Amino acid sequence: MCVSDREVYDTIVSALAATRSFGAVLIDEPGRGPGGPSASPRAVVSPGPWTDDLTDDPEIALRRVSYRVTISVRGDDPRARSCQADRLSRAVSALLEGADFGGGCIPALSRIYRGESQASAGGGKATCELVGSFSYFLPESSGFASDLPGVPPIEEPAFVDESNVSNRRRSIPAAGDGPAPEVRGVPGTRARLTSNRGPGGSTTVGILGGGAFRPPTIADPAAADDSIYFSSTSGRLVYKDGAGSVHPLY
């Protein structure tokens, strides 16, 4: 299922409105009115930046989108409005955390990861701002970087886990260069999350969406000691020990 950012924002607004906890729910966008200055409580969904990440499937990219939900409550009693804003922020967090937003997003990557409360005594208003993100797969032709004129394809892997998807591409460190990167599968994901490619562009090693490891295919003489790989010499999965001896694993 291919979705767009706007479809997800519309789903968030509909979900918040359906709780009947707010006098107004709207998207913060240029040219749109405030939705009634007296509406309280009010929730404003503010679109944020997005990043695209490579997957091992050349037809698919993984997009992560950040956004904010600002909850405001007006009233004469400072304590009462602060308590109501805090209660609403917890309810909104529970609603959006782990959501699939109509089936197009990856629940494990739908997060509310930061919040901030503010009380404005003079203005008679308490606010709470939540910062979250959602992620979904999109066809590379929808605007992923490698489709842009003059931008060469990126061959380094993208590392993805449930808590953070970054647009930074990092090389796998050699032995002794520090800790190896951790790559965790996303439940329900079938696209490969990361891969290392050879000079000709072919995949030499990959980690699939569910977390399974796809070993590289290497001839025995070319394989490094202390490594597991699929031997093109014997046609079997093997382990080459530190002394250079090759042991079939099945």
Model pLDDT for residues 50-75, shown as the tens digit of each residue: 988 877 676 778 889 999 999 999 98
Give the pLDDT confidence score for residue 104 in this predicted structure: 84
Which pLDDT score is estimated for 217? 83
**Cα-based distances in Å from 88 to 69, 73, 81, 182:** 11, 9, 11, 35
pLDDT in tens, 72-87: 999 888 888 889 999 9
Mean pLDDT, range 102-124, rounded to an integer: 83
Backbone φ and ψ of 98, nearest 5°? 75, 15
Asked whether the predicted pLDDT for residue 220 surpasses 60, the reply is yes
Angle at 170 between CA 131 and CA 97, to 5 degrees: 25
- What three-state secondary structure class fits 31? coil
pLDDT tens figures, 119-178? 765 678 899 999 999 998 876 544 433 344 444 444 444 444 444 443 333 333 444 444
Whole-number Å distance between alpha carbons of 111 and 214: 29
Contact partners, residue 216, CB within 8 Å, separation at least 6: 196, 204, 205, 229, 230
Tens of pLDDT, residues 221-250: 888 888 888 888 888 899 999 889 999 987
pLDDT-derived band at 25 (thresholds 50, 70, 90) equals very high
Mapped onto helix, strand or coil, the DSSP state of residue 164 is coil
* Domain annotation for the chain: domains and CATH numbers: 5-139 (3.30.2000.10), 143-248 (no CATH)
